Amino acid sequence: MSLPEYQARVIMCDPPWHFVNYSEKGEQKNPTAHYDCMPLDDIQALPVLELADPTGCALVMWATGPMLPQAIDTMTCWGFKFVSAGAWAKQSSTGKKWAFGTGYVYRSAAEFWLLGCVGKPKFRSRSIRNLIVSPVREHSRKPEMMRAMCEKQFDGPRIELFARESAPGWMSWGNQATKFDIDADPALAGSAVLARDPARSSPAHDVIGNVSGALL
């Protein structure tokens, strides 16, 4: 599945990084048990820069601690300059304690995002903290607050790559682009999806993806 034709001022992505298991016990916690992962070379070969508004575009990329070097390298391969980073401090699903995730050195209770830029994106706000404190939900599902932060900090248009749910004001692209939508139609599984927000005349709430197939 190729990237859409789009000119965005914000690109958010959660690349399907491939993790190596060192024991059978960790197989069900590996991302490959939940979605199709991609080799690093294939991720870095994506022409993401073609989606960026040449006058200025911000890239917000999620990565776990062990993948931070590869994430920064990927950002460079895509043509973006690393600028800053932030962290999601993960609470348990109940929000009553800190998460206790997987890990070979530290048990994960945090995930990170990197901010990269190309051109000169306009910062609408410079009072946003680089920290989100929020409970974990389904595997790999990110906090809603991240979209709100991006919307407060940068003008649109906006696109989310490797998305797992659609959102107003965003184009969503990926092979599970409606997975967490409350109103997702199970009949769409295995088919290409293009859903437009009827309240808008522009494709600001488009979903492009294949709910069950591997990315090509």
Q: Identify which of 8, 14, 13, 12 has the alpha carbon closest to the alpha carbon of residue 56.
A: 8
Query: Residue 181 pLDDT more than 70?
Result: yes
Q: Is the dihedral of CA 77, 78, 83, 88 positive or negative?
A: negative
Rounded to whole angstroms, how far apart are CA atoms 125 and 141? 26
Q: What is the C-alpha to C-alpha distance for residues 42 and 201, in angstroms, rounded to an integer?
A: 34
* H-only helix segments in 36-132: 40-44, 68-77
pLDDT at 20: 57
pLDDT at site 103: 85
Closest by Cα among 154, 90, 170 to 116: 154
Q: Which residues contact 144 (CB under 8 A, 6 or more apart)?
A: none
* Residue 80 · residue 117 · CB < 8 Å: yes
In angstroms, how far is CA 78 from the centroid of its own chain? 15
Q: What is the pLDDT of residues 47-84, one digit of tens each?
A: 999 999 999 999 999 999 999 999 999 999 999 999 99
pLDDT of residue 139: 78
Q: How far is CA 65 from the centre of its chain?
A: 15
Output the CA angle 51-55-56, nearest 5 degrees. Answer: 70
Q: Span 189-209, mean pLDDT?
A: 40
Query: Mean pLDDT throughout 161-175?
Result: 89
> In the prediction, which pLDDT does 50 show?
97
d(CA 149, CA 188): 30
Q: Model-level pTM?
A: 0.79
Q: Which helix (H) or strand (E) holds 159?
A: strand 158-161
Which of the listed ranges 23-37, 119-133, 158-172 does the model predict with the highest average pLDDT? 119-133
19-23, 148-152, 198-202: least confidently modelled range: 198-202
- Whether residue 119 is predicted with pLDDT greater than 50 in this model: the reply is yes
Dist CA 18 CA 139 (whole Å) = 15
- Reported as type and span, the H/E element at residue 150 is helix 145-153
pLDDT, averaged across the chain: 81
* Range picked from 22-36, 45-59, 92-106, 168-182 for highest mean pLDDT: 45-59
Distance CA 32, CA 139 (A): 11
**pLDDT of res. 5:** 87
